[in-house]
Structure 1
């Protein structure tokens, strides 16, 4: 019987073009440098560090809008820099790509406030400049403040946002895959032909949300379609993700619940006609590590003294669309149907949760699972979590930046490598090929296939007749 090799862990750094991302309040730590997020050297330094640690990618979160639900204003959001100010993540990619060769870049873009053409053009351009290392985290938005910023009266209905997302994505597929044939660009100086006109085709789209007609301006990039990430966990979100996504971020709770969610997602992907093992599932985590377990616990205590659980509560309030400041610390938070992140809000249906419970969970300011210990201890914990749940890897948040990434690379990665659970060198090729070892392009089983342009018959009538006579002879 052939033994199945242990799964190699996928690892992304999880960050945002802002000061306070997930673990709120830690920007006040004396060694934290996240206040430098508006300096290019901060990001190029991070990219080089992550590539030295053989990280698969840097995943950059983003929001449109501000967190204004808690206490009905943005006072705490501004004081604690809870993802405010925050800058456009796509502006960072070219600079980081220039100082690395293998690191992938997953960029969050909210399609609700984009036009498909301009977005598709920007990401196709980035795929060229990174030589096939770009991915897109597809989000539809959950903040009323964002809708008001772009001249809408309020957030669209949850399921309607996904209907729009389906059409947005189908139009992007047409641009990326359906306008240019793969060999359209020949760069023939002697014949003065850069691109063969017969191999470039206009797109014609008349839909419910979008209308477009014309030729896509960007020639085929390495991956054509960027690697597709998604985090939908509602019924509608899961249906969308299991149809389109190549990697999914899933909410983390107890390993048994995560395993159940993994099995549900893979079964749904199979029902969509996809190979369930070709969908990579990732969980966001925070790690505090040091030379020994005791030193790691000391570092945790030090970090907690700077963290802001209340800032975490303010972030959480906007995630669920409910002002949690209205409840007493020991009062159970009732379930209220809102138009925000449905999967996060659902937990109040089945669990009795108080603000005190949330603050305890948010002791580092963020709600992701926290792993604390020596490098060996962390490696054991991560491997056990991955094997028990069936996930494929982790999105590692920062705590004190860039210290936490340096610590992980120094203490944890060698332990994972010694156990055969983490790569010792990068594979060659695009981000998609590194993740799936199946080439640069989306597979034929993906919904994109129906939008791919086919070589056109450009022969003249006389050429066709001559071909027919030759065949008959």
Structure 2
């Protein structure tokens, strides 16, 4: 069968998300992110173009490592100001019927009970169109914002996240039976108390009694996204993730990550095909090759190198050193590569700097005519092995408009995109074609019907 593309738009509730400096482009709507109309207009555009979902990124701190403060990020509008991604979902859902929503939320700093309730509420309001991008947070400022002296150690964050998910599964899958709501008007019984139960979770980090406050949603557990490529993240994704948003410096790294996570899924008792893989992709398209290249060149002119340096949380300033000096000579050794782990000490400072803000270095980048772009997307699907893309926005809304006008018709003709939505599908059913709920082989389903929930811990009577 021809593999169909999972098509998402990559968004964030801020001015400068991931293409720094480009908010200055003529006609760019990035500064309107505080307006509800920005989100409703965008949602209607994406649904008209057949997008599967809008993927909403988030951070809960500032990028304050580069040059020793958040000043560069603030000046650039780099993910500050930044609003809650989940809050714009009801507005977008109200003007659409099919568009899905991937919401980023961290497991590290906020308690699970409240998040479970908020996400169930959104799944109800959207009639099953919600997914959750599970992250553990990486910014030092985020840790300090929630009362920590420093970041929680990387692998411990994933251990906490594993228990966090366990709590949520107990709430979403185990706390209510599907037929708990009886709505008996004559008998004045709305819900059957025997079919609703507390979860009595007592773990290393969380203590939650329950029951879950919302009734079961269409999906019960929303579609589970993760964004990872680390060893701990791979194990976590193998157990939990349905869709992995991943990347890397090149396609070989990406393929290695995909293989590793598929193997981890099998080790967790799942199937390799239970996990789909989505990666960020840049698309610059126009009727002619020359027009597309000119458009990319215009984007490159306005790209801000400082924005990319700050986004990398680089703990030193390459611009303060001679461009001909090597990284080894200026002391840019281990631990000074920011969020980028690849490091070549023999590379010159000038060569290193050239990589920041170079739009042409995006591993998955297609520039050209609609047919050429479609060829590249098909290659990514069939040769690289991905299942979908989070479309990188250079311009809001022109990036999406161009893709819809030029690329969508070609991909539809080639069988890579649906021609219309299924009127009755949830987000999970759209991605996997196997119904609204998690398959039985997923770890979460062990709690269905109240199975494997612990008994309440009885307090011993005090002897007087």
Q: TM-score, normalised by structure 1?
A: 0.90
Distance in 2 (CA, whole Å) between partners of 1:116 and 1:351 is: 46
Give the 3 Å change call, closer, same or farther, for CA 261–436 of structure 1 in structure 2: same
Residue 250 (structure 2) pairs with residue 254 (structure 1): yes
Are residue 375 (structure 1) and residue 349 (structure 2) matched? no
Structure 2 counterpart SS, 1:24: coil
Match of 1:86 in 2: 82
Task: Find the counterpart in structure 2 of residue 244 from structure 1.
Answer: 240
- The 10-residue stretch of structure 1 (209-218 or 236-245) with the greater mean CA deviation from structure 2: 209-218
Contact kept? 2:327, 2:344, Cα under 8 Å: no
CA distance in structure 1 between the aligned counterparts of 2:174 and 2:210, rounded to whole angstroms: 11
Partner of 2:114: 118
Deviations 1:66-120 (A, max 9, x none): 0011111122211110111100000000010001111100000011121100000
CA contact (8 A) 1:307 1:365 kept: no
Structure 1: how far apart are the matches of 2:317 and 2:186? Answer: 68
Question: Is the 1:69–1:323 contact (alpha carbons within 8 Å) kept by the matching residues of 2?
Answer: no
Does 1:292 find its partner at 2:269?
no
Structure 2 residues without counterparts, runs of 5 or longer: 453-464
Gap change, CA 1:365 and 1:23, over 3 Å in 2: farther
CA contact (8 A) 1:199 1:455 kept: no
Cα distance, 1:310 vs structure 2: 2.2
Equivalent residue for 1:359, pick from 354, 358, 362: 354
Partner residue of 2:11 out of 7, 12, 15: 15
Matched ranges for 1:187-266 at <5 A: 187-266=183-262
User: In structure 1, what is the Cα distance between the partners aligned to 2:299 and 2:244?
Assistant: 29
Out of 326, 336, 346, which is 2:334 matched to?
336
In structure 1, C-alpha distance between the alignment counterparts of 2:322 and 2:239, rounded to whole Å: 42
| CA shift for structure 1 position 351 | 8.9
Gaps of 5+ in 1: 457-473
Report if aligned partners of 1:262, 1:389 keep a CA contact under 8 Å in 2.
no
* 1:13 alignment partner, SS class: strand
Aligned counterpart for 2:101 among listed residues 98, 105, 123: 105
Q: Show the counterpart of 1:462.
A: none
Going from structure 1 to structure 2, the CA distance change for 1:387 and 1:26 (only over 3 Å counts) comes to same
Q: Is the 8 A contact 1:107 1:135 kept in 2?
A: yes
Q: Is the 8 A contact 2:175 2:450 kept in 1?
A: no
8 Å Cα contact 2:238-2:267 kept in structure 1:
no
Q: Tell me the equivalent position of 2:419.
A: 424
Match of 1:6 in 2: 2
Q: Classify 1:158/1:455 alpha carbon distance in 2 versus 1 (closer, same or farther; 3 Å).
A: closer
The alpha carbon displacement at 1:213 in A equals 1.2
Question: What value does the CA root-mean-square deviation take over the aligned residues?
Answer: 2.2
Give 1:340 shift. 7.7
Larger deviation: 369-378 or 258-267?
A: 258-267
1:171-221 deviation per Cα after TM superposition (whole angstroms, max 9, x unaligned): 011111111111101212122111011111011011110111132111101
Structure 2 vs 1, CA of residues 53 and 335 (structure 1 numbering), >3 Å: closer, same or farther? farther
SS at match of 2:3: coil
Deviation of the 1:348 alpha carbon: 2.0
The 1-side partners of 2:26 and 2:222 are apart by: 38
How big is the shift at 1:355? 5.9
1:403-422 matched pairs, under 5 angstroms:
403-422=398-417
- The range that moved more, 36-45 or 256-265, is 256-265
Aligned residue in 1 for 2:461? none
Change (3 A) 1:358 1:439: farther
Do the aligned residues in 1 keep the contact of 2:234 with 2:261 (CA within 8 Å)?
A: yes
Question: Residue in 1 aligned with 2:46?
Answer: 50
Bigger shift: 427-436 or 354-363?
354-363
Question: Hey, what's the Cα distance between the residues in 1 that align with 2:33 and 2:176?
Answer: 38
Q: SS at the partner of 1:256?
A: helix
Match of 1:308 among 297, 304, 310: 304
The correspondence for 1:442, drawn from 430, 438, 445, is: 438
Of 35, 41, 62, the match for 2:37: 41
